[in-house]
Structure 1
Amino acid sequence: MLDEALDGRAARLNERYRHHAATEVLRRAVSDPDLGRVTLVSSFGAESVVLLHMVSVVAPGLPVLFIDTQMLFPETLEYQREVSAKLGLTNVQVITASEQEIARNDPDGTLHKFDANACCDFRKTVPLERVLSGYDAWITGRKRFQNGERAALEFFEPEPPARLRINPLAHWRSEDVQEYMIENKLPRHPLVAKGYPSIGCAPCTSPVKEGEDPRSGRWRGQDKSECGIHFIGGRMVRGKVSA
């Protein structure tokens, strides 16, 4: 019954916002009573600045959750500080695994080499879920064009048992993202110019060659295409994730 109710809420919201542009979906969603307490989760990656800019315009005080896995590129950490300051985001919250969790799960920093899912789980999923448990919905930058698992993505998705995901950019094309960045003179992540169109943790991200899928540099050679923060009911979804 709970899942049916959640599915029904997502369906009603998708119908309500069916003809809205991304900015209007975001503007209205942050105050829609059917969504409750809303936050944005951002990686401050290659395309993150688009949603961050939209938030800075419509709700600069909205909580923005940034997961520092402590294995990110130095460029990402600097970019996070630069973008937050430039856009005037006033409520960026940096989330990390505790020292005790790191000592218990990955004391020598090599877990990613033999169990990337477990590494993503304790460095990303668990710390994020601790904070997300205080929210009713969260905004993501996921888009249909990014990979096959996201091909049917809608503006609103149920996340059982009781949370919703909001995907304002679900219907955007890659060209739309680039045009928005250019038109608004937004700073680019420095690694994009070095061949990283999709950026995660340093040990698990590699440059992408011309003609390759933009996300092919994430966990290259592994049967894995999601970091795990797109989970169901607080549980990490292993391997590929259906949209």
Structure 2
Amino acid sequence: MSVAYDSVDQTAAAAIRLDAELRRAHPRTILEAAVESFGDKLALVSSFGAESSVLLDIAARVKPDIAVLFLDTGMLFGQTLDYRRNLAERLGLTNVRDLRPAYQDLATADPQAKLWQTDTDACCHVRKVLPLDRALGEFDAWITGRKRFHGGDRLNLPVVEHADGKVKFNPLANWGKSDLDAYAAEHDLPAHPLVAQGFPSIGCWPCTQPAEEGEDVRAGRWKGLDKTECGIHVARAPGTPNNVGGDI
């Protein structure tokens, strides 16, 4: 049974309460609580990247028809597109939605598909933030695959948080790489094909490189730039419209 929250204050209070209840819970317990609280007003956002199979498998066991939002930026590796199709079919996820940038946004901001060369934040904004903002309009809460062991801004990641008027669940926040590897092995989950080529974190091909031995998991993302997030998980000031700022 889902619960509707009529105001930002109520939504924020719900996030605080849920975080207190779930901050040490198993990821499946967190997902079950999210589904119980929000039902069909809950979405899972997945990149179908290097570590995505674990969360997607748990979600498929809890609610196989959960809305899974996949950002097809137009610049993903071909291996990612193949993995998205094959993994969704294998796990029995029946409601995976491919989100693409709007034609008009690309025509205005990136007509030659070269924006990533000059302004990665703007490129992420038009190809990730805007499509996700539009899709999340029909949902009250969403699930991410972020984890604290990735470091950076994720070190203090709560299990449940309030952001941009919605409740965000981070079921894997407490898990480390060994936990993910153990779960994947136990359930015989297929790895993203680029993991074997040295990619521990996978985004768009122009801005993703293999990580060197001993480097941070996300070291290959926007390498050489002062950038660690695409903008989707960057908090916005109150009153900021959904079509301004941010990256995933």
TM-score by length of 1: 0.92
- The residue that corresponds to 2:64 in the other structure is 60
Structure 1 residue 217 corresponds to structure 2 residue 217: no
Letter in 2 for 1:209: E
1:36 to 1:159, Cα distance in 2 relative to 1, 3 A: farther
Structure 1 residue 193 corresponds to structure 2 residue 196: yes
**Runs (5+) with no aligned partner, structure 2:** 1-6, 237-241
Secondary structure at the counterpart of residue 49 of structure 1? helix
Letter in 2 for 1:103: A
| CA contact 2:141–2:167 (8 Å) conserved in 1 | yes
Secondary structure at the counterpart of residue 37 of structure 2? coil
Measure how far apart 1:98 and its partner are: 2.0
Structure 1 residue 91 corresponds to structure 2 residue 107: no
- The residue that corresponds to 1:167 in the other structure is 170
Secondary structure at the counterpart of residue 66 of structure 1? strand
Letter in 1 for 2:161: E
Measure how far apart 1:147 and its partner are: 1.3
Per-residue CA deviation, residues 107-156 of structure 1 (Å, 9 max, x unaligned), is 11110011000000000000110010111110000001111211111111
- CA distance in 1 between counterparts of 2:63 and 2:16 reads 25
- The residue that corresponds to 2:32 in the other structure is 27
- The residue that corresponds to 2:181 in the other structure is 178
Q: What is the correspondence of 1:1-243 to structure 2 with a 5 Å cutoff?
A: 4-33=9-38, 37-160=41-164, 162-232=165-235, 234=242, 235-237=244-246
Secondary structure at the counterpart of residue 72 of structure 1? coil
With 146-155 and 40-49 compared, the bigger mean Cα shift is at: 146-155
Secondary structure at the counterpart of residue 222 of structure 1? coil
Query: Percent same amino acid among aligned pairs?
Result: 46
Measure how far apart 1:3 and its partner are: 5.5
- CA-based RMSD: 1.7
**Runs (5+) with no aligned partner, structure 1:** none
- CA distance in 1 between counterparts of 2:117 and 2:166 reads 32
| CA contact 1:139–1:166 (8 Å) conserved in 2 | yes
- CA distance in 1 between counterparts of 2:24 and 2:120 reads 39
Secondary structure at the counterpart of residue 32 of structure 1? helix
- CA distance in 2 between counterparts of 1:97 and 1:237 reads 15
- CA distance in 2 between counterparts of 1:3 and 1:101 reads 29
Letter in 1 for 2:33: R
How many equivalent residue pairs?
A: 236
- CA distance in 2 between counterparts of 1:20 and 1:218 reads 30
Secondary structure at the counterpart of residue 13 of structure 1? helix
TM-score by length of 2: 0.90
